[in-house]
Structure 1
Amino acid sequence: MFVEIYLGVGIVELNFQQMLFEFFGGLGIFLYGIKFMGDGLQKSAGERLRDVLDRFTTNPVMGVLAGLIVTVLVQSSSATTVITVGLVSAGFLTLRQAIGVIMGANIGTTITAFIIGIDVGEFALPIIALGSILLFFFKNKKIHNVGQIVFGFGALFYGLELMSGGMKPLRSLESFHELTVELSSNPILGVLIGTLFTVIVQSSSATIGILQGLHAESLINLDGALPVLFGDNIGTTITAILAAIGTTVAAKRAAATHVLFNLIGTTIFLILLSPFTYVIEMIRDSLGLNPEMTIAFAHGIFNTTNTLIQLPFVAGLAIVVSKLIPGEDAIIDYKAQHLDPVFIEQSPSIALGQAKEEVLRMGKFALKGLEETNQFLKTKNTKHSSSAYHLEEAINNLDRKITDYLVDLATSSLSEHESEEHSMLIDTVRDIERIGDHFENILELVEYQQANKVKITDSAMGDLETMFSLTAKTVEEALQSLDQKNLEAATDVVKKENEIDSMERTIRKQHILRMNEGQCTGQAGIVFVDIISNLERIGDHAVNIAEYVLGDQK
């Protein structure tokens, strides 16, 4: 589709189809390159992002550092904020810790703009070729990850080259020139355009890359580009908002903090737009920066200064969002609370008692996860599955922490009775961790049921509810027997587990009858039988805990 435009010096033909194809095709390749490179970086880093956030979020300043590191690893502030919202939802991070991480993510995302500022576009295709060779001709996992990074890096620049080529003809359009003049004189319009475009694309890296291309082609001057840059930072908060939908109050507050942080920063910099523009121009002229790197520096200075301004007011931000989004926090502190390494050397018996307290906490998480799984089965509300998955992650975390603590404790001088209790705790940790695995299996079965529209009859659901209830009571009593060394409770657990085994056989037969009568489909039969099998195995692990107690008493 060609359009002829008269510019006073002749007729210029514009191929709008080619422009659109190059721009949107380039945008797609750019987004894929960013994601592919980020995935490669994440794999190379060992995919231990949660551990980074866990270790470096002791205070807001360390939280900023953690957010920066993780964002550099995944090349996406949106990914970091989504991870952070998830961790806050589970109670893994407090709101104040999350605010620091979100601030750091805003700084970390500027790295992409600096990468784009390095003018290596003409080498994009050879870089892609090198990445392809590493991906397809080497089987070593580390080389494969490096190949993924290199390929993504090349795709990023190739996408930018295509977008830049698609935007070049715009300089011939008088209406586009009028828009850029309007952006220069009306900064609010620039902020709105930047926000809207980033909300649509859901990647501030992409929209800032486009902005760098427009500025490089002299399609937008610095006065017009900076407000759009501010809007890009507001628009990127949409991902955190979407991630917080249907989650806990704390997670919604974390997402709201991301929005508030960027809105406050944009307001400050709009007020100081003239001096900020002067500073960027001065840096550009003194360092001899190209247009892309000029935007990168503006992006970096904006986010870094915004963080420095607001970092002292983290507590205030937390109070504001708590007022804006009222409600009770459902916090699950997944970090170990009782495992003080000092006791291992000074008093092994106290250390053993501390380990037991942590095992009981882990058991409560397992019981709560089982209850949330049952609620998900009954209501199909994803807030219950989300809570259960987070609880399972907390169980896995405590499994590692408690096991490491008990291994260290094994080197201490323990009495014969303490050694027996030490062994019992190690075995109990393993059983509780397996209970978490089994309710996770049930969650996946219910998700399969939803995805494939598998209908389970009311009669079958009644059987599942009865077995869930009995299993939960058995686990609860097993933990009670461990806590109180209650011989009567432990004996009752063994009886209940026999009931579970008998119930599993009975309702399995009843379900086969329903299938034979055509009341249930084969798919429903598979889901039903697998759920009761997992419940029966949870009962087995509960009785293991009770038998440890019985053996210890004997």
Structure 2
Amino acid sequence: MLGAIATFLFGMSTMTDGLEKLSSGRLESILERLTSNVWKGVLLGALVTGLIQSSAATTVMCVGFVNAGIMKLRQTVGIIMGANIGTTVTAQLLRLGDLSSDQPLLLLLKPATLGPILAVIGILFYMFLRGGRKKIIGQIILGLGLLFIGMKTLEGAVAPLQDLPEFQELFVAFSNPFLGVLVGALVTALIQSSSASMGILQAMTSTGVVTFHIAIPLIMGQNIGTCVTALLSGIGASKNAKRTACIHLLFNVIGTLFFLILLYGCNALFHFSFWTAQMDRGSIANLHLAFNVGCTLLLLPFNGLLVTLVERLIPGDTDQKEVSVLDERFLSTPSLALEKSHDTVVQMGHFALENYRLSVELLNHFDSKKLERLQETEAALDKLEGLLDNYLVRLSDRSSLSPEDSAKVSELLHTLSDFERIGDYAVNLSDCAVLLHDRGIVFSPSAKQELRLMTSAVEETIVRALECYTKRSHDLAMEVEPIEEVVDLLRDELRSRHIERLKNGECTVELGSQFLELLISLERISDHCSNIALYIVRETSPADALIRTDSHAYMHALHHGEDQEFDAMFQEYRQKYYAPLEAAPLTSR
């Protein structure tokens, strides 16, 4: 029995993973774009979940989108309701075991025959055909075959249990609705799949002890148990992301309470004839579908109240990363479109800074939840870059654009690219943190201290660059280049110290290569900050200023002692970040 359950769960996992790979992000794109109203959301949620066979995966996608600011909280309500309907597809497939006919075609559709056939076809695709897509299709077919094989084996394993009085007594105990709901929720939470726990329940129908009043609380509990995955994904996420996971739980809990009271109350009054009727795979699948459709029809008209309720349960101002909406109507007024575009670039800067800080935290102490948050923010950053780049290109095509506005478009395009690159280098830093964590290796105490000075200097560079760009301040922009030069000094010094450690055998080649990669990424982040500050310096300088006529000559003058203000700030930041390094010994302890 346990082996059959293992085969069944592995088949479910294999099939679901393959379906998610095959979608290649397209299903996420559908969810993101086509949720203009709650009815569309229900249909899309059902479609996507029906294709990937995991309501938990669909809900986790929604949590991620809300956390990244790609979707709003209200957009997810319909998707979550539809996901509960879409997850019933697996149970409908497994009901094929109820087929009974002498016709060869129908016999082929029975799990006992179809499972091995699909497994063989799937393994042939998976092992012998080249091409990623064909391999993924093979994985899906193999998973479905194992699902049927596990189901059939489980039925055979549990069939003798029908003669055990203890087993019958156990299932009779589940007729207590609260116990049934609890057991269904716990089993589903444990195996992280309501479709899988539903399949196990369908297999148990072969014992003849599963009746309507036993199945209904178990099915309701399974719907509640599947919420655990989304709730776990919301840990460490934004408030609205937590609220998204909470909507999934509330939807199932409220639906369960309503239908339990309704069914048990009506049975007490009318004594349903089907109450103690035996269930088969098909009736379990239909009951599962009816319950989820009923919950959706019940709560869909109150979707706004559901959002209000979770906002009360998880109070506080939203910390959602809202993606700016660049309204098409602004294009007819270039000055307004440019203002909104500037706000969006600033938003990108905040995302880049957040990811940089997360990546540094990951280097100091690895946390998988912070890594997920970084990846979600990076997705929002990439989305903003694509939206804004397209928006600005369309704006630049306007014949009414003045030379000043054209220059502003060019500056915005360059700046958004700089912030996006800062985000990319932050991801590089996180990749290094992942590698160090996975291989169980750490930098020496002296290397950690050196990186701490370097990362602090780079963080101040990003903060100053973002601040000067937000306020379009000449004075603030002038503070960026001195820090950037100190970062260059730190890079050269840390590289030299690293080589000394390698020579003395105090650092491995593997750690050393990661250390150098970190230095490169950190220095390039400061370079992009310098670019951003220079745009502001150039824009806010007098028309006859050197930077307006020859930026290379201006930079040469800054770095060769021809600007006393620059030299004073350079010495200040040198004392802050480089002096502690000079006082430290060259080798590690």
Q: Which residue of 2 aligns with 1:110?
A: 88
Offset at 1:505? 0.4
Q: CA deviation at 1:50?
A: 3.1
Higher mean displacement: 373-382 or 190-199: 373-382
Letter aligned with residue 428 of structure 1: T
Contact 1:134–1:146 at 8 Å: present in 2 too? Answer: yes
1:37 aligned onto 2:26: no
Structure 1 residue 434 displacement after superposition: 1.3
| Corresponding position: 1:200 with 2:190 | yes
Distance 1:464 1:453 in 2: 19
2:418 corresponds, among 413, 421, 431, to 431
**Residues 146, 381 of structure 1: CA spacing in aligned structure 2 closer, same or farther, 3 A cutoff?**
closer
How far off its partner does 1:209 sit?
A: 0.8
Secondary structure of the residue that 1:272 maps to in structure 2?
Answer: helix
Residue 181 of structure 1 pairs with residue 172 of structure 2: yes
What is the distance in 2 between the residues matched to 1:547 and 1:126?
Answer: 66
Write the distance in 1 (CA, Å) between the matches of 2:419 and 2:291. Answer: 48
- Which amino acid in the other structure matches residue 67 of structure 1? G
Counterpart of 1:336 in structure 2 is 324
2: distance between equivalents of 1:180 and 1:402? 59
Contact 2:208–2:279 under 8 Å retained in 1: no
Match of 1:372 in 2: 358
Q: CA deviation at 1:164?
A: 1.2
Structure 1 residue 302: Cα displacement: 0.6
- 1:221-260 alignment to 2 at 5 Å? 221-260=211-250
Which of 120, 126, 147 is 2:117 aligned to? 126
Residues in 1 aligned to 2:354 and 2:93: alpha-carbon distance in whole angstroms: 46
Displacement of 1:208 after TM fit? 0.8
> Do structure 1's residue 363 and structure 2's residue 357 form an aligned pair?
no
Q: Distance in 2 between matches of 1:329 and 1:409?
A: 32
Relative to structure 1, the CA distance from residue 73 to residue 548 in structure 2 (aligned partners, 3 Å threshold; closer, same or farther) is farther
Which residue type is aligned with residue 48 of structure 2? V
Q: Which sits farther off after the overlay, 301-310 or 363-372? A: 363-372
TM-score by length of 2: 0.80
Choose from 81, 101, 109 the match for 2:59. 81
Judge conservation of contact 1:96–1:318 (CA < 8 Å) in 2. Answer: yes
Counterpart selection for 1:219 from 203, 206, 209: 209
Once residues 475 and 411 of structure 1 are traced to their aligned partners in structure 2, the CA distance between those partners, rounded to angstroms, is 32
Q: C-alpha separation between the residues in 2 aligned to 1:488 and 1:125?
A: 73
Q: Give the direction of change, closer, same or farther, for the CA distance of 1:375–1:280 in structure 2 (3 Å limit).
A: farther
CA distance 1:507–1:136, shift in 2 (3 Å): closer
Paired letter, 2:146: A
Q: What amino acid is the match of 1:86?
A: G
Show CA shifts across 1:256-278 (max 9, x none): 33333222222222222355899
Is the contact between residue 134 and residue 147 of structure 1 (CA under 8 Å) also seen in structure 2?
Answer: yes
Change (3 A) 1:43 1:359: same
Q: Deviations over 1:483-538 (max 9, x none)?
A: 45545544543333222212110122233334555655544433333222211011
Equivalent-residue separation in structure 2 for 1:88 and 1:70 (angstroms) = 17
Tell me, in whole angstroms, the C-alpha distance in 2 between the residues paired with 1:279 and 1:201: 35
Structure 2: distance between partners of 1:64 and 1:230: 20
Q: In the alignment, is residue 68 of structure 1 matched against residue 56 of structure 2?
A: no
Q: Name the residue aligned to 2:403.
A: 416
**What code does the residue aligned with 1:316 have?**
L
One-letter amino acid of the counterpart of residue 220, structure 1: V
The SS at the match of 2:174 is: helix
Distance 1:476 1:451, change over 3 A: same
* Corresponding position of 2:148: 157
Structure 2 CA distance, aligned partners of 1:83 and 1:91? 12
**Which residue of structure 2 lines up, in the alignment, with residue 5 of structure 1?**
none
- Partner AA of 1:356 in structure 2: H
Distance in 2 between the 1:383 and 1:297 partners? 38
In structure 2, list runs of 5 or more residues that go unmatched. 98-108, 542-547, 549-589
The equivalent residue for 1:271 is 261
How far, CA to CA, are the matches of 1:191 and 1:475 in structure 2?
52
Moved more, 204-213 or 510-519: 510-519
Q: How does 1:287-302 map to 2 (within 5 A)?
A: 291-302=280-291
Q: Which secondary structure state, in structure 2, belongs to the residue aligned with residue 118 of structure 1?
A: helix
The 8 Å contact of residues 68 and 379 in structure 2, kept in 1 or not, is answered as no
CA distance 1:145–1:447, shift in 2 (3 Å):
closer
Q: Is the 8 A contact 1:117 1:290 kept in 2?
A: no
Cα distance in 1 for residues equivalent to 2:467 and 2:21: 42
Matched position secondary structure for 1:432: helix
SS in structure 1 opposite 2:441?
Answer: coil
**Residues of 2 paired with 1:241 and 1:480: CA distance?**
36
Give the alignment's TM-score, normalised by structure 1: 0.85
Which string of whole-angstrom CA distances, capped at 9 and with x for unpartnered residues, describes residues 366-398 of structure 1? 122222333333454555444333222211111
**2:157 matched residue in structure 1:** 166
Give a deviation string over 1:425-457, Cα, whole Å, max 9, x none: 223222221111111111122233333343334
Q: Quick one: structure 1 residues 188 and 364, their matched pair in 2 at CA, closer, same or farther if it must change by over 3 Å?
A: closer
CA contact (8 A) 1:91 1:330 kept: no
Aligned counterparts of 1:41 and 1:131: Cα–Cα separation in 2: 13
305, 308, 326: which one aligns with 1:316: 305
- How far residue 147 of structure 1 moved from its aligned partner, in angstroms, is 3.2
- Supply the distance in 2 between the matched residues of 1:486 and 1:246 (Cα, whole angstroms): 35
**Aligned position for 1:6:** none
1:304 equivalent to 2:293? Answer: yes
Moved over 6 A (4+): 276-282
CA–CA separation in structure 1 for the residues paired with 2:10 and 2:509: 40
Letter in 2 for 1:292: R
Q: How many residues align?
A: 523
Alpha-carbon displacement from aligned partner over 1:258-313 (angstroms, at most 9, x marks no partner) = 3332222222222223558999988xx9xxx9921211111111111112222233
Aligned sequence identity (%): 38
Between stretches 509-518 and 175-184, larger displacement belongs to 509-518
8 A contact 2:206–2:280 mirrored in 1: yes
**Out of 466, 479, 482, which is 2:453 matched to?**
466
Over 3 Å counting, the alpha-carbon distance change for 1:329 and 1:515 in structure 2 is: farther
**Alignment RMSD:** 3.1
CA distance in 2, matches of 1:191, 1:99: 23
Match of 1:478 among 465, 470, 474: 465
Distance in 2 of aligned mates of 1:192 and 1:279: 25
CA 1:404–1:290 in structure 2 vs 1: closer, same or farther (change >3 Å)? farther
Post-superposition offset of 1:547: 3.9
Query: Quick check: 1:116–1:157 contact (8 Å CA) kept in 2?
Result: yes
